C-alpha cells in the first residue's frame, strides 16, 4: 500500500481536544487505540458531521465501514410459519440479532474484520407488537444491554427503524399487524385476494418461481394502501377514521411515539451516533399517474403484477385477469402471459372494519363496480396525482415526506439531544432527491442501486462473465446502463461509474451532505447455489470486489448487507428466500474454541469471501480524502488526501464532484496522525506488512491492532505499506 497526500491552502485555528500526535516527541502508533476504534476514547468525543464528512473530535475525516446487524432482526425468535399470521400479539424479538450471551464472539469478529460501524436494525413490530401504546420493555432492555457493549469493541452504530413492504403481514417486515387491521384489512384474506405475497415470509422464496418476488409487494394493495394512508391519509383517505382519529394522524402519531420510546431506551448510550427514520420509504399510490399501470423503470415487474385498479377489484373480492411477467433479456423482465387471480372471490377487507368490508378506495370514489356490466369502473384516474381537497398537484417529498421527517427529528432528538445524527433516505430505485433545508446533522442515506434494483442480485443471481453480454445481464437491469464493458475490470469500472453518478447526484441535489450506502450485498446462492457444494465462492468474491471498489472510489461510507449468524445454506437468512450473509455460524468453530482478541484467526471461521469483504481502508484521516484505490488480488492500495496547512484560504466551499471535494472551512485539525486499517490475515502477510516513510515523515505498523499510522512531516507526506497479496485466501475460496 502506498499512501500519499498533497497539501492545499486554507486557514484553520487549533481548538478542542488535542491528539497526542501534535506533540513533536510523539512516536507514531504509540496511542493506545487502533484505526477502526470508534469509541470516544479513540475519537476524542462523539463523531459529528461537517459538509460531506464524518469527523472525530480532532477534526479527522472518518471513513466508516461496517455491517447491517442484521438480517435476522426482521423476524421474531418465536416465528412460526405454520400458524402465521396468528399469534402476532405475542411475538418476541428478544435475541435479535443474536442472544446477549453470544455478543462477545460476534462483536469481536466484527472488530477483527474492521467492520466497526454498525447499522443496528429494529422494527416497529419488535417494539409495539401487542397493540397501540403497548411497548415491549423486555426487548428495549435487551437492545440497550447489547448496544452498551459496543464501545468495548470500538463499535459505533446508528439505529435503523427497518421496514420492507410495510410489514411482515404484507410480505416484508416492519409495522405490527394491528396497523393493517386498523385500516380495515383482514390478515387472513390478503394473500388469496392478491393484496400481498406472503409465501416468502412463511419460509418460501427459494425456488426459481418464487425468487425475488417480495419487492413487487410495494405495488400491491396492502402495502400501497398502508403507505398512502400513512403519508397522506388526510388528503387521500379523509373518510377513514380509526377510533375517531383520522388515519394519517393515528398511524403517524403511533410511529412517532414508538420512535420516542426507542430513543429514550438507547439514545444516551455512547455508541449510538443517531437514528434512521425509516428503511426503504415508499409513496404507495401517491403521484401514481395511471391506475392501469406502474412505472416499469422503477417498480419491479415479476410474476403477477396487478395494476392499482386491478388490485382494488381483487381486494373487493372480484376475480380479475392479471398480466404475468418473467425474467428476460435484454430487458430485465417481460410480459409472457396472464392469469385469473382470486378465483374464489376472497375479500381483503374485514366486514367489521372501519370500511364495513368495502374497498377503501371505492369508499372515496376512486372506482366503483358496475352491476349491470359486472365490471369495475375507474371514476377518478388522476385521484392520486393531485390533492382531492385543493386540486393542487402533489409532490410526495415536499408535501408529505419531509414534513414528517421534521416531526420525527423533533421527537427523536427530544430525548437524545441535538448531537444525534438523523439518517434519511430517498425512495429506492429513483434517485429523485429533493432538498431538506434548515437542519444540521442530517445524513442522506442513498441506497446502493444494486440492492434496491433487486434485478441483478436478487432476481438474476448470475455470475460476472468475461463477455459483454453476460455482464450486461447482471447489471444493466439495475443501472439501465448502455455502456457496460466485460470482465472483472469492466465490472469494477462500471460499478464505480454508476455509484459515482448516484453519489454526485446526491451532492448536486442536497449540497455538502454526508452519504452512507446503507445496504449493499451479494447473494451467496447466486448461480443456483453451486458454491454450497463446491465451496468455491469465486463469483461472489469477484462481484463483491467490484461493488466495494465502486464504493471506495466514491469515498463514501457503507454498511454491508448483512451479518446474520443464523444463516445456513438451505434457508439462507430465513426471510423471503434471501441469502446475503457472508457469515454463517454453521461453518464457524464452537464458541468454546474461540478467543476474542483482535489477532485471533479462529474468528475467521464461518466467514465467506473474506478476501473481498475484509479490506484495508483509511479510518481516520488527518486531512480531506481525495482518492483511494485497493487491488484485492495484488495486495496494494493507494490513498491520497489533502493535508490542512495554515495559509491562504481557498474559496471553494461546495462541490458536486467526488474527486474534488471542498477544501476550505474545514474545522480545526488537532491531530497529525492518519490511521489506516490493515486486515490482519494469515494468508495476506505471513510475516506481517512492512512499512517505510518516503518523505521524511514517520510511519509504523501496530502489530496487534492491525493498522498503519502515518504522521506527516511538512506539507507533503508519503508512506508505503506493502503485502505479498491482499486477501484472506485465494479469490473465491470459502474460508
Q: Which are the catalytic amino acids? A: 280, 519
Antiparallel, parallel or unpaired: β 61-62 and 690-693: unpaired
Angle in degrees, CA 73, 79, 82, rounded to 5: 145
Could you give the angle at which helices 221-236 and 247-266 cross, rounded to 10 degrees? 110
Other Cβ atoms closer than 10 A to 534: 12
Per the DSSP assignment, residues forming a β-bridge with 719 are 3, 693
CB atoms within 10 A of CB 589: 14
Cβ contact 420:275 at 8 Å: yes
Strands 272-276 and 61-62, sheet pairing: unpaired
Can you tell me the distance from the alpha carbon of 434 to that of 424, in angstroms, rounded to the nearest whole number? 12
Pairing of strands 442-446, 515-520: parallel
Alpha helices in 597-651 (DSSP H): 610-613
Residue 143: name the closest of 159, 125, 162, 154 by CA.
159
Contacts of 679 (CB under 8 A, 6+ apart): 113, 114, 614, 615, 616, 706, 728
Residue 735, CA distances (Å) to 260, 397, 612 in order: 42, 45, 11
Pick the closest to residue 1 from 490, 672, 735, 694 (CA basis): 694
In this structure, what C-alpha cell is assigned to residue 69? 446487524
Q: What share of the chain is helix, strand, coil (3-state, %, to 5)?
A: 30, 20, 50
Residue 477: exposure state from Cβ atoms within 10 A (0-12, 13-18, ≥19): buried
Q: Helix, strand, or coil here: 412?
A: helix
230/470 Cα distance (integer angstroms): 42
Cα 56 from Cα 19, distance rounded (Å) = 11
Q: How crowded is residue 339: how many other Cβ atoms within 10 Å of its Cβ?
A: 12
- Partnered with residue 46 across adjacent β-strands are none
Cα–Cα nearest to 278, from 398, 172, 424, 175: 424
Q: How many CB atoms lie within 10 A of CB 468?
A: 12
C-alpha cell at 84: 402465521
| 364 close to 236: Cβ distance less than 8 angstroms | yes
Please state, in angstroms and rounded to a whole number, the distance separating the CA atoms of residues 75 and 78.
8
Amino acid at each position: 500500500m502506498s499512501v500519499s497526500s498533497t497539501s492545499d491552502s486554507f486557514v484553520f485555528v487549533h481548538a478542542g481536544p488535542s491528539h497526542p500526535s501534535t506533540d513533536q516527541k510523539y512516536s507514531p502508533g504509540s496511542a493506545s487505540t487502533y484505526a477502526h476504534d470508534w469509541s470516544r476514547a479513540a475519537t476524542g468525543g462523539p463523531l459529528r458531521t461537517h459538509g460531506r464528512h464524518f469527523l472525530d473530535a480532532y477534526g479527522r475525516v472518518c471513513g466508516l465501514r461496517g455491517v447491517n446487524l442484521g438480517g435476522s432482526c426482521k423476524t421474531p425468535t418465536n416465528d412460526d410459519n405454520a400458524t402465521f399470521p396468528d399469534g402476532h400479539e405475542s411475538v418476541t424479538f428478544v435475541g435479535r440479532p443474536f442472544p446477549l450471551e453470544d455478543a462477545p464472539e460476534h462483536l469481536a469478529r466484527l472488530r477483527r474484520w474492521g467492520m466497526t460501524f454498525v447499522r443496528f436494525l429494529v422494527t416497529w413490530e419488535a417494539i409495539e407488537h401487542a397493540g397501540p401504546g403497548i411497548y415491549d420493555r423486555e426487548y428495549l432492555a435487551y437492545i440497550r444491554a447489547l448496544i452498551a457493549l459496543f464501545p468495548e469493541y470500538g463499535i459505533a452504530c446508528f439505529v435503523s427503524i427497518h421496514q420492507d413492504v410495510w410489514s411482515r403481514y404484507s410480505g416484508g417486515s416492519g409495522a405490527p399487524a394491528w396497523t393493517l387491521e386498523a385500516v380495515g384489512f383482514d390478515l387472513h384474506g390478503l394473500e388469496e385476494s392478491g393484496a400481498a405475497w406472503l409465501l416468502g415470509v412463511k419460509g418460501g422464496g427459494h425456488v426459481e418461481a418464487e425468487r425475488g418476488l417480495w419487492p413487487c409487494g410495494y405495488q400491491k394493495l396492502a402495502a400501497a394502501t398502508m403507505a398512502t394512508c400513512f403519508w397522506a391519509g388526510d388528503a387521500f383517505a379523509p373518510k377513514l377514521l380509526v377510533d375517531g382519529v383520522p388515519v394519517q394522524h393515528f398511524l403517524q402519531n403511533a410511529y412517532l411515539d414508538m420512535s420516542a420510546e426507542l430513543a429514550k431506551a438507547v439514545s444516551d448510550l455512547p455508541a449510538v451516533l443517531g437514528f434512521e427514520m425509516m428503511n426503504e420509504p415508499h409513496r404507495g399510490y401517491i403521484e401514481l399517474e395511471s391506475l392501469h399501470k406502474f412505472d416499469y423503470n422503477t417498480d419491479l415487474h415479476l410474476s403477477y403484477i396487478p395494476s392499482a385498479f386491478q388490485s382494488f377489484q381483487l381486494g373487493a373480492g372480484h376475480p380479475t385477469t392479471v398480466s404475468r411477467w418473467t425474467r428476460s433479456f435484454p430487458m430485465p423482465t417481460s410480459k409472457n402471459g396472464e392469469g385469473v387471480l382470486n378465483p374464489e372471490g376472497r375479500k381483503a377487507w374485514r366486514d367489521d372494519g372501519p370500511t364495513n368490508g368495502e374497498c377503501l378506495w371505492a369508499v372515496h370514489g376512486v372506482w366503483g363496480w358496475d352491476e349491470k356490466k359486472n365490471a369495475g369502473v375507474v371514476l377518478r384516474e388522476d385521484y392520486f396525482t393531485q390533492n382531492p381537497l385543493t386540486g393542487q398537484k402533489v409532490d410526495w417529498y415536499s408535501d408529505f415526506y419531509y414534513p414528517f421527517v421534521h416531526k420525527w427529528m423533533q421527537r427523536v432528538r427530544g430525548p437524545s439531544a441535538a448531537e444525534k445524527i438523523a439518517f434519511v433516505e430517498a425512495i429506492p430505485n429513483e434517485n429523485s432527491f429533493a432538498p431538506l433545508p434548515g437542519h444540521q446533522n442530517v445524513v442522506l442515506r442513498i441506497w446502493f442501486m444494486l440492492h434496491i434494483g433487486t434485478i441483478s442480485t436478487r432476481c438474476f443471481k448470475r455470475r460476472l462473465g468475461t463477455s459483454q453480454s453476460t455482464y450486461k445481464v447482471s447489471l444493466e437491469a439495475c443501472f439501465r446502463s448502455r455502456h457496460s464493458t466485460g470482465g472483472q475490470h469492466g465490472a469494477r469500472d462500471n460499478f464505480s461509474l454508476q455509484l459515482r453518478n448516484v453519489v454526485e447526484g446526491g451532492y448536486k441535489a442536497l449540497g455538502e451532505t454526508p452519504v452512507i450506502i446503507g445496504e449493499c450485498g451479494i447473494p451467496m446462492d447466486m448461480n443456483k447455489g453451486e458454491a454450497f457444494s463446491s465451496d468455491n465462492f469465486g463469483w461472489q468474491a469477484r462481484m463483491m470486489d467490484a461493488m466495494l471498489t465502486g464504493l471506495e472510489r466514491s469515498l463514501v461510507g457503507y454498511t454491508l448487507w448483512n451479518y446474520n449468524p443464523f444463516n445456513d445454506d438451505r434457508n439462507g437468512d430465513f426471510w423471503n428466500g434471501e441469502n446475503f450473509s457472508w457469515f454463517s455460524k454453521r461453518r464457524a468453530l464452537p464458541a468454546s474454541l474461540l478467543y476474542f482478541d483482535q489477532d485471533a484467526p479462529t474468528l475467521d471461521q464461518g466467514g465467506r469471501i473474506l478476501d473481498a469483504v475484509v479490506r484495508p481502508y483509511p479510518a481516520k484521516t488527518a486531512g480531506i480524502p481525495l482518492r483511494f484505490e485497493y487491488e484485492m488480488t495484488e495486495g496494494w492500495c493507494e490513498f491520497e488526501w489533502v493535508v490542512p496547512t495554515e495559509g491562504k484560504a481557498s474559496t471553494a466551499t461546495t462541490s458536486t464532484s467526488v474527486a474534488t471535494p471542498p477544501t476550505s472551512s474545514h474545522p480545526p485539525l488537532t491531530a497529525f496522525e492518519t490511521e489506516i486499517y490493515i486486515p490482519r490475515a494469515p494468508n495476506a502477510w505471513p510475516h506481517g506488512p512492512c512499512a517505510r516513510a518516503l518523505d521524511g515523515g514517520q510511519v509504523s505498523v501496530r502489530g496487534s491492532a492491525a493498522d498503519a499510522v502515518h504522521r506527516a512531516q511538512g506539507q507533503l507526506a508519503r508512506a508505503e505499506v506493502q503485502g505479498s497479496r491482499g486477501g484472506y485466501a485465494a479469490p473465491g475460496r470459502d474460508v
